[in-house]
Amino acid sequence: MARLYADEQFPYEVVENLHRSTPNHAGIIICTDDADRSELAERINVTISTSEPLVGKLISVVRPVK
């Protein structure tokens, strides 16, 4: 099971710089906002499950266009 730390509203440039400056990080997951929190949680879970190990990765979870 992944241990996650959540924060909101980091500009993409900040996240990209963090990813580049510290390549041995535990993994960074960025998400587009989705009012349907259950669907968002499911997409995050699927993405994490198929991307492990997360070490050093920058992973995007994008809300599908409806």
Confidence of residue 10 (pLDDT cuts 50, 70, 90): confident
pTM of the model: 0.74
CB 32 within 8 A of CB 63: yes
Instruction: Kindly report whether the peptide bond that precedes residue 53 is cis, defined as omega within 30 degrees of 0.
Output: yes
- Dihedral, CA of residue 47, residue 48, residue 49 and residue 52, to nearest 10: 120
Higher-pLDDT residue of 23 and 5 is: 23
Mean residue pLDDT of the chain comes to 85
Token pair belonging to 45? 């879970």
Nearest to 61 by CA among 48, 46, 44: 44
pLDDT of residue 1 exceeding 60: no
Per cent of the chain over pLDDT 70 is 88
Could you give the CA distance from residue 55 to residue 58 in angstroms, rounded to a whole number?
Answer: 9
For the chain, domain boundaries:
12-61
* The token pair that represents 40 in the structure block: 């968002």
